[in-house]
């Protein structure tokens, strides 16, 4: 099966980034590479967020409502969000401007934003 056009090629740099994520997130990333199903991105994105979150949530972030605010509810600061953005840019091979990320305030905002960036990366 040919990879989906929006799928990310597993370069050595991407593989290095993936090593820091739990196995379930790595498997989701590989499913995304193969099938291009953006719902697999959620597992990857939540693993990235959980890796950088300043205070650990009791349940996983996937169980939080979509309107959970990144800064106010989860305690991310601008440095942590910047690290997340750099990680996502490297992993998904996308480019994210400061102006774009300022519009992202909730978990749902971030999911929609990453999905849009990844799926339009090759369309431009």
Provide the CA 51 distance to its chain's centre, in angstroms: 11
Helix, strand, coil shares, percent, the chain, to 5: 55, 0, 45
CA distance 82 to 63: 24
Considering the segment(s) 12-120 as one domain, its CATH architecture is Orthogonal Bundle (1.10)
| pLDDT above 80: residue 26 | yes
| pLDDT above 50: residue 46 | yes
**Confidence band (pLDDT; 50, 70, 90) for 8?**
low
Running DSSP on this structure, what letter comes out for residue 63? Answer: G
Running DSSP on this structure, what letter comes out for residue 62? Answer: G
How high is the mean pLDDT of the chain? 84
66: Cβ–Cβ under 8 A, 6 or more apart, which residues?
106, 107, 108, 111
């Amino acid at each position: 099966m040919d990879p989906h056009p929006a799928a990310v090629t597993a370069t050595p740099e991407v593989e290095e980034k993936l090593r820091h994520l739990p196995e379930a997130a790595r498997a989701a990333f590989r499913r995304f590479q193969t099938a291009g199903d953006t719902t697999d991105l959620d597992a990857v994105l939540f693993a990235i967020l959980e890796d950088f979150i300043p205070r650990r949530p009791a349940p996983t972030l996937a169980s939080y409502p979509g309107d959970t605010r990144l800064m106010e509810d989860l305690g991310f600061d601008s440095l942590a969000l910047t690290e997340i953005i750099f990680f996502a840019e490297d992993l998904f091979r996308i480019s994210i401007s400061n102006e774009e990320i300022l519009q992202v305030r909730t978990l749902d905002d971030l999911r929609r934003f990453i999905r849009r960036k990844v799926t339009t990366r090759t369309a431009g």
